[in-house]
Structure 1
Amino acid sequence: MAKTTARYCLSALMLWLWLLPKPAGAEIQPQVIAPPTLVWCLDHFPHFHEYDNSDTPVGPSVVLMQELARRAGFQLSFTPRTSLARCLKLMEQGDVDLMSNLRYSDERNQFMYLLPYSSNVAESLFLRKADQRLIDSKAQLRGLTLATLRHYLYNPATMALIAEESRHIAQVDSIEVALEMLLRNRIDGLVAPTISTTEAIKAISSYQQRFKIAPLDFSGVAPNNIHLAIARNSPNAALKPLLQQHLQTMIDDGTVARLIRNPKDRPDVKELKLQQP
C-alpha cells in the first residue's frame, strides 16, 4: 500500500511539473538515454586477461570484451584484480554483470547465463625440466603429488582424473604459487592451462629452462567450451539476447578465433614440449 501511494504521489508530481507554463521560445529537447554500464569481474589469468602493474587489464580477452561492448552499445567497466572465487560470489549476488573464460557447470548455470564462444582452453602437465620420467599416460600419474588450481574448472576428462586422484592433489590459488611449489620439489607436477602457465613461466627470468610440458594428452573428447557469463541477478540481465547476438556475430566473422589463438601455434609452448633434462 505504501509503495502504491508513493508511486501515485510521484506520478502526480511529474504531471504537475509537465503542466507548468513553459518559458516563451522553449523547445522540447529529446531525451538522451546513456548506454548501460556493465561491470566485468576479472581475476589474473596470464595471457587472456591480466593486470600488468596497472589498474587497466590487458590481453586478448580484454580486446574481445571491448569489441563486444562497442558492437552491443554498452560501457564496459573493470573490477580491480579479483580472485576467481570472489568474482563467482559477486556474480551470484548480482553485484557484477560479466565474467569470461568460464567452463560450464550445473552449479554455475544456477546463477549465470553461460554463452559459449570458444571451443577450448588447452591444459598440460608441467614438470621440472630435470625430471627424468617420461609421462605420457594418465596411469603414470598414480602416486604422484600434483597441484591443480582451486575453483578452476578443467575439461571433463581432467576433472574425472582429479576426482580419481584426489588424495594426491594439492589445490592452490594461483599458477604462480604452484610453479614455486614445483620448483621447490613440494609437488611432482602441475596440471594447468597451457598458455597461461607458459606466460607465467616467461614472466620470471629465474624460471627459464626450469620447466617442461609432459607429452601426456589432457585434451579429452567431451565438449570443452569456454563461456561468457552474465549474472542472472544482474540489473542488466535483460541484455542477454543482445550480447548473445553480437557474440555470435564475432564468432561467425572470425573475430574470436583471431584473438583466442590455438596454443599449438605458439613457439613458446612448442619449446617447453621439446625440452629435455
Structure 2
Amino acid sequence: MRPGTLPLAVLLTWFLIPVPAGAQLQPDTPEKPELEWCLDHLPYRHDYPDDGKPFGPSVDFMQELAQRAGFRLRFSPNTPFSRCLRQMEQGKTDLMIRLNDSPDRRRYMHLIPFDRARTEVLLIRKDSPDVQYFHQLAELNLLVVRGYNYNHRALKQLAQQTRSIPIDSQDAGLQMLLIGRGDALISSFEVARNRIQSNPDYHGQFKVASLDLEPDEASFVHLALAKASPYAHLRQQLAEAIETMVADGLIPHYFHNLPQTVASDH
C-alpha cells in the first residue's frame, strides 16, 4: 500500500454513520423515492441510443444500487458531463457516477467511493510528434473537459493554462483533435478506448503519447449525490448499499470486464 492511501473498505466504513439495530433498507413499495441519474452516452459503459433507454454495465450497476438502497431510478436525457455537474450543483438532478474527488465537488456533492480510479493518458493525432515530458504540454493546445478533475497534480495546473481549450465532453474533444482544432486530449485510457472503438471515423487516427500520467498515490472514483437534491438525506442508505456491493465482489463484474482492444490506436 502506498503511503497516505487507505483500502476502499476502510473509506466506506468511515463514511457510514451508525444506525439503530434492526434498521433496514426501504421495502419495495410505490412510495419509494425516485432519483435521477444524470448521464451521457459512453460506449460500452452506458450506451444511450437516440430512440431508447440507456443500457450497459453502468446501467446494471445503478439498477442494482437502486434495488439495494430502496429507490426508483430515473434516467436523465443524454446530457454532457459538464452540464450534469451544473445540474448537480443546482439541485436539478440527483446522481452521477465514477467522479474523482475534489474540494469543489465536495462543496455541492456527497461523494461515496466504490472503485479505484483509472490512470489517465494523453491522446494525440497519429501523425503528431510524441510527448514524453510535462514541459512539452505547455507548448500544446490542450483540450480540457469543463469541470473534469484530473488525478495527476500537474494536470490540474495545466488545465488552467491560457492555451487550454474548454470542451463539453470527451467525444467533442476527439472530434476537435481529429480535425486539428487542438493538439492533445487527456482521458482515462478506458474511456478513450471505448469511444474510439465505437466510431469508425476514429480508427487509426490517434495514439497514446509516452508521457507517464500515473498519479502520485492511489485514488478512487465515487458515486455522487447532490447536496441540493431533495433526497440528499439518503446518502447513508446509498453508502450502505455500495458497501454491500463491494463486499459481494460486484464492482469488477460491472466495471473491469470491458473490451480490451481498439484496432491500432494503442
Same fold? TM cut 0.5:
yes
Indicate conservation of the 8 Å contact 1:213/1:272, yes or no: yes
Q: Number of matched residues?
A: 238
Residue equivalent to 1:202:
197
How far 1:93 moved relative to its partner?
3.0
Quick one: which of 97, 101, 107 aligns to 1:100?
97
Indicate conservation of the 8 Å contact 1:158/1:220, yes or no: no
Indicate conservation of the 8 Å contact 2:124/2:185, yes or no: yes
Quick one: which of 116, 121, 124 aligns to 1:124?
121
Q: Which consecutive residues of structure 1, in runs of 5 or more, have no partner in the other structure?
A: 1-31
Q: 2-side partners of 1:58 and 1:197: how far apart?
A: 19
Q: 2-side partners of 1:145 and 1:60: how far apart?
A: 34
Whichever residue aligns with residue 260 of structure 2, its letter is R
Q: SS of 2:78's equivalent?
A: coil
Q: 1-side partners of 2:36 and 2:54: how far apart?
A: 13
Indicate conservation of the 8 Å contact 1:55/1:80, yes or no: no
Indicate conservation of the 8 Å contact 1:157/1:218, yes or no: no
Q: Where does 1:162-241 land on structure 2 (aligned, <5 Å)?
A: 162-163=158-159, 166-241=161-236
Deviates more, 1:242-251 or 1:90-99: 90-99
Residue equivalent to 1:78:
75
Q: 2-side partners of 1:83 and 1:181: how far apart?
A: 16
TM-score scaled by length of structure 1 = 0.77
Whichever residue aligns with residue 256 of structure 2, its letter is R
Q: 1-side partners of 2:92 and 2:171: how far apart?
A: 28
How far 1:53 moved relative to its partner?
2.5
How far 1:223 moved relative to its partner?
4.1
Q: SS of 1:110's equivalent?
A: helix
Q: 1:66 to 1:143 in 2, by over 3 A?
A: same
How far 1:218 moved relative to its partner?
1.4
Q: SS of 2:162's equivalent?
A: helix
Q: 1:35 to 1:244 in 2, by over 3 A?
A: same
Residue equivalent to 2:57:
60
Quick one: which of 155, 162, 168 aligns to 1:159?
155
Residue equivalent to 1:7:
none
Q: 1:177 to 1:220 in 2, by over 3 A?
A: same
Indicate conservation of the 8 Å contact 2:82/2:168, yes or no: no
How far 1:222 moved relative to its partner?
3.3
Whichever residue aligns with residue 73 of structure 2, its letter is L
Indicate conservation of the 8 Å contact 1:124/1:213, yes or no: yes
CA deviation vs aligned residue, 1:63-121 (integer Å, no higher than 9, x gap)? 11111111222211111112333322332233322111211222221221110111113
Deviates more, 1:179-188 or 1:104-113: 179-188
Q: SS of 2:181's equivalent?
A: coil
How far 1:256 moved relative to its partner?
0.9
Indicate conservation of the 8 Å contact 2:203/2:265, yes or no: no
Indicate conservation of the 8 Å contact 2:150/2:156, yes or no: no
How far 1:198 moved relative to its partner?
1.8
| Structure with the larger helix share | 1
RMSD, matched Cα = 2.3
How far 1:246 moved relative to its partner?
1.2
Residue equivalent to 1:114:
111
Q: SS of 2:262's equivalent?
A: helix
Q: Which consecutive residues of structure 2, in runs of 5 or more, have no partner in the other structure?
A: 1-28
Q: 1-side partners of 2:67 and 2:175: how far apart?
A: 40
Q: 1-side partners of 2:114 and 2:46: how far apart?
A: 16
Q: 1-side partners of 2:229 and 2:201: how far apart?
A: 43
- Which is greater in Rg? 1
How far 1:227 moved relative to its partner?
0.8
Q: 1-side partners of 2:229 and 2:52: how far apart?
A: 24
Matched, 1:272 2:265: yes
Q: Where does 1:145-156 land on structure 2 (aligned, <5 Å)?
A: 145-156=141-152
